[in-house]
Amino acid sequence: MMHGGGQRSFVSDEVKNKKPKLWIIKRLAGYFKPFIWIVLAATLMLMIVSALQIVPPYLTKVAIDKYIATKNFTGIYKIAGIYLLVLILQLVIQYAEIMLTEYVGQRVMIDIRMKVFEHLENLSMTFFDKNPIGRLVTRVTNDVEALHELFTGGVVAIIGDFFTIIAIVIVMLKMSISLTVASFVLLPAFAIAAYIFSIKSHAAYLDVRKYVAESNANLQENLSGVKVVQAFAREDRNYKGYERINKNYVKASFRAITINTVFFPVVEALSSISIGLIIWYGGGKSIQGAVSAGTLVAFISYVKRFFDPIRDLGEKYNIVQNASASSFRIFKLLDTKMLIKDAPDKKQITPKIGQIEFKNVVFSYNKGETILKNISFKIERGEKVAFVGATGAGKTSIISIIPRLYDIDSGEILIDDIDIRKYDKKCLRAGIGMVLQEPFIFAGTVFDNIALWDKSITLDEVKRAAEIVNLAPFVERRRKGYYEEVGERGSNFSQGERQMIAFARVFIKNPPILIMDEATSSIDTQTEALIQDALLKIMEGRTSIIVAHRLSTIKNVNRIFVVHKGKIVEEGDHQSLLAKKGVYYKLYKLQYAD
Ligand SMILES: Nc1ncnc2c1ncn2[C@@H]1O[C@H](COP(=O)(O)OP(=O)(O)O)[C@@H](O)[C@H]1O
Ligand SMILES: [Mg+2]
């Protein structure tokens, strides 16, 4: 766990101690503080509703004892009128109370969700390397939802139940002490049965939920990778895997249903027996004239109303436990400090010149596994260099540490003679245009994907950028042109087109530094030529670092660095490196020669 300062993932899904802790409650309360007055108003309404709830049985008692017994019609009408009024009043206040509670609940959920989102957005890549996206998505959705449930279904309901129970007990004791005692004889047995039931049922439903999540994850992965599944004829095996998860799901569901159908009637029976007890005991008393018939009827209603909240107590407890585990996970995530920190005296300047220097840079993703070993080089303003090397040599790592996607272990990286850790992160990155190996395309239009939702960028600018990077003809032949919706992750765009979209982004951003991780897969020669042409244009006037996989790219740069096992082993231009007959020569023979 991150809390201990270790390097492992921030928190596992299992939370061992589910008891709500004071610090969690305090922190949660902090989120509700801005809404304190609404919460108080809702609580007041809740008290009124609870009080109103005990009126109808009392009215029944009055109607029976006072008016039915004496055949007083006007009295009965009057009672019926009051009864209706109480119900309407209860309905209106309850409506207002629920609306207010929901309002606060939703507002707090938005606050927490946005906080988590903002925090996630700023975490270092190291964090994302260690935490599966699926789990993080669960965190933002399910865990926040559990908190919502805690507030609306847990805390508020418990407060309401508490008022109801107190009010009922007071009224019952006032009406008849002996009947009250009789009603509560079975209370302990009932409470215990209800508690056991809810614990068992909760465990079963947790299993069901687990398998649903597993099934969803499996489905999503299989559909996302459907091309690979089909290409490798994995359909049958994956079908079996999905079937196994579904069978587990069915089993767990049946367990939950069994518990519900076996235990629940037992719990209900106990409450019915209590009512039977009142009829038996109270009936005798009524015949003796010790209690009135109306009191007896009212008692039956009260007992029902009394037992329901007690029955649900276990469930409420589960909600509280769940929410406690969820808030624990959310707060732990918010406390995760895997950030790329800005220096206290950070410089609010963006790199303008584009001179890059590595001084004895050592870098590792995980402690003890050094990836880059003592790398030093200097790239002058406007220079174009290529990094080449075998897969896993460390090329992507070298370019990832320049915009501080990761921080280095030791050494220095200087841009315009200033250590990159001295820049404000955002300013530093504003000075660097990045083209990743697999350009990410967001859901939205072509226009959005080039402008990246920057409102200050006009359609004309986007069009001009698209023309420069040879993307324009591809976009213009689409039905909606720049307003064409891009499929999920740009699926309706070719790899070449996606590459050009990434170029267009850089062209608009216009930074002094260009960093590109060239795609490894080859594209048809025609598109290839267009991309090369675009690359030449966007390299123009920029310090450019290209992780190169194509000979044509390599021939377009001033200098080549050969990376081998985390070190720069050779340096020079194409001809001089070939003449050396070293690593570059071998690489060239293997990769680039026809
Ligand atoms: N996110 C990561 N976490 C841990 N190790 C990584 C990560 N990315 C790359 N590596 C490891 O770092 C080494 C260099 O990788 P990389 O820089 O991607 O090489 P290249 O781009 O030259 O193919 C490889 O051994 C790779 O397994
Ligand atoms: Mg790479």
Per residue, the 3-state secondary structure of 425-473, as one string, reads HHHHHHCEEEECCCCCCCCEEHHHHHHCCCCCCCHHHHHHHHHHCCCHH
Ligand nearest the Cα of residue 124 is: 1
Q: Which of 129, 338, 365, 401 to mutate to test the pocket of ligand 1 (most atoms within 8 A of CB)?
A: 365
| For the CA of 397, the nearest ligand | 1
Q: Residue 513 pairs with which residues in a beta bridge?
A: 432, 543
CA of 550 relative to ligand 2 center, distance in Å: 14
Q: Give the residues surrounding ligand 1 with Cβ less than 6 Å away.
A: 129, 365, 371, 389, 391-397
Q: In what order do the strands lie in the sheet with 513-517?
A: 432-435, 513-517, 543-547, 384-388, 559-564, 567-572
Supply the residue whose CA is at minimum distance from atom 16 of ligand 1. 394
Distance 366 CA to ligand 1 centre (A): 11
**Distance in Å, CA 442 to ligand 1 centroid:** 25
CA distance linking residue 269 with residue 176, whole number of Å: 24
- Contact 442/448 with Cβ under 8 angstroms? yes
Map 32-79 to HEC letters.
HHHHHHHHHHHHHHHHHHHHHHCHHHHHHHHHHHHHHCCCCHHHHHHH
- Separation of CA 239 and ligand 2 centre (Å): 33
Q: Ligand 1: which residue has its CA nearest to atom 4?
A: 365
Q: Which ligand has an atom closest to residue 395 CA? A: 1
Is there a contact between 545 and 379 (Cβ–Cβ < 8 Å)?
yes
> What is the predicted pLDDT for the residue at 13?
53
pLDDT tens, residue order, the chain (594 aa): 233 333 333 444 555 556 667 888 899 889 999 999 999 999 899 889 988 988 999 999 999 988 888 888 899 999 999 999 999 999 999 999 999 999 999 999 999 999 999 999 888 888 888 877 777 887 788 888 888 888 887 777 888 888 888 889 999 999 888 889 888 888 888 888 888 888 888 888 888 878 887 888 788 878 878 888 888 888 898 899 999 999 999 998 999 888 888 877 888 888 888 889 889 988 888 888 888 888 889 988 898 888 888 877 777 877 888 788 888 888 988 998 877 888 888 889 999 999 999 999 999 999 889 999 999 999 999 999 999 999 999 999 999 999 999 999 999 999 999 999 999 999 999 999 999 988 888 888 999 999 999 999 999 999 999 999 999 999 999 889 999 888 777 777 888 889 999 999 999 999 999 999 988 777 788 888 899 999 999 999 999 999 998 888 888 899 999 999 999 999 999 999 999 999 999 988 887 655
Contacts of 191 (CB under 8 A, 6+ apart): 310, 313
User: Ligand 1, closest atom to CA 126?
Assistant: 1
How far apart, in whole angstroms, are the C-alpha atoms of residue 391 and residue 498? Answer: 23
Give the closest residue (by CA) to ligand 1 atom 25.
392
The domain made up of 1-175+319-339 is a member of CATH 1.20.1560.10: yes
Q: Cα of 391 to ligand 2 centre, how many Å?
A: 7
372 CA from centroid of ligand 2 (Å): 13
Tens digit of pLDDT for each residue in 174-223? 988 888 988 888 888 888 888 888 888 888 888 887 888 788 878 887 88
Instruction: Give the pLDDT confidence of 104-124 residue by residue, as tens digits.
Output: 999 999 999 999 999 998 888
Residues 501/450, Cβ–Cβ less than 8 Å: yes
Nearest CA to ligand 1 atom 9: 397
Q: Whose CA is nearest to atom 2 of ligand 1?
A: 365
Ligand nearest to the CA of 391: 1
- Name the residue of 397, 407, 565 whose CB sits within 8 Å of the most ligand 1 atoms, as the mutation to test its pocket: 397
- At 479, phi and psi to the nearest 5? -60, -45
- Name the closest ligand to CA 394: 1
Integer CA distances (angstroms), 289 to 72, 172, 173, 294, in order: 21, 18, 18, 12
Probe ligand 1: pick from 371, 395, 406, max atoms within 8 Å of CB? Answer: 371
In ligand 1, the atom with minimum distance to the C-alpha of 393 is 22
Domain locations along the chain: 1-175+319-339, 177-290
User: What ligand 1 atom has the least distance to the C-alpha of 400?
Assistant: 17
Task: Map tokens 């409450």 to a residue.
Answer: 271
Report the separation in Å between the CA atom of 289 and the middle of ligand 2, taken as the mean of its atom positions. Answer: 92
Q: Considering only CA atoms, which of 278, 343, 339 is closest in space to residue 304? A: 278
Give the pairing type, strands 559-564 and 370-379: unpaired
Ligand nearest to the CA of 518: 2
Residue nearest to atom 17 of ligand 1 (CA): 394
Q: How far is the CA of 394 from the centre of ligand 1 (A)?
A: 6
Atom 6, ligand 1: residue with shortest CA distance:
365
